[in-house]
Chain A
Amino acid sequence: MMSKTMNEATQSDPGRDFIRYRDDGDFAAFDAIMDRFHKPLYVYLYRMLGRAEEAEDALQEVWLKVIAQQDKYRDEGRFTAWIYRIAHNHCLDLYRKSKRFVQAYENDDENDSTPIVDRLAAEGPTPLETALENEDMQQIENAVGMLPPLIREVYLLRAVEEVPFKEIAVIQDAPLGTVLSRMSQAVKGIQKQLSASASLAEETA
Chain B
Amino acid sequence: MKIHLLFHPSGPGESAAANEVVRMLDLPDDSLEKQAFLDRCAVDEGLRRDWETVNRTMAMGRRLSSPEPPAALRQRIAAAARHDKVIRPFEPAAKPAFRVSGWRWAWAAIFLVMIAGGAAEFQNQSSGTSISSIAQNDALDQELLSLDEEMAALFSDFESQFETAFTGTAS
Interface-lining segment among A56-64, A81-89, A90-98, A99-107: A56-64
Do A21 and B81 touch (CB < 8 A)? Answer: yes
Do A22 and B93 touch (CB < 8 A)? Answer: yes
- For the complex, count residues of A whose C-beta is within 8 A of B: 69
State the total of A-B contacts with C-beta under 8 angstroms: 155
Of residues 29 to 65 in B, which have CB atoms within 8 Å of A's CB atoms?
45-46, 49-50, 53-54, 56-65
Do B78 and A30 touch (CB < 8 A)? Answer: yes
5 cross-chain pairs, A with B, having the tightest CB-CB distances, nearest first: A159-B61, A184-B18, A42-B69, A180-B19, A25-B90
Do B25 and A119 touch (CB < 8 A)? Answer: no
B6 to chain A, nearest CB (A): 6
27 interchain pairs, CB-CB under 8 A: A1-B62, A22-B93, A23-B93, A27-B78, A34-B78, A39-B66, A39-B69, A42-B69, A43-B66, A43-B67, A60-B73, A63-B77, A64-B80, A68-B84, A70-B84, A118-B6, A119-B46, A119-B50, A126-B53, A128-B53, A129-B56, A132-B60, A160-B66, A164-B26, A177-B19, A180-B19, A181-B18
B168: interface (CB < 8 Å):
no
Which residues of chain A are within 8 angstroms of B9 by Cβ–Cβ distance? 113-116
Which residues of chain B are within 8 angstroms of A181 by Cβ–Cβ distance? 15, 18-19
- A124–B80 Cα distance when bound, in Å, is 55
Which residues of chain A are within 8 angstroms of B22 by Cβ–Cβ distance? 165, 180, 183-184, 187
- A23–B10 Cα distance when bound, in Å, is 52
Given known A30-B81, A128-B57, contact A116–B73 (CB-CB < 8 A): no
Closest B residue to A138 by CB, please name it.
B65
Closest B residue to A27 by CB, please name it.
B82
A48: interface (CB < 8 Å):
no
Chain A residues near B (Cβ < 8 Å) = 1-3, 19, 21-25, 27, 30-31, 34, 38-39, 42-43, 46-47, 52, 55-56, 59-60, 63-64, 67-68, 70-71, 112-122, 126, 128-129, 132, 137, 140-141, 144, 155-156, 158-160, 164-166, 177, 180-181, 183-184, 186-188, 190-192, 195
Do B80 and A63 touch (CB < 8 A)? Answer: yes
Do B57 and A159 touch (CB < 8 A)? Answer: yes
Which residues of chain B are within 8 angstroms of A55 by Cβ–Cβ distance? 69
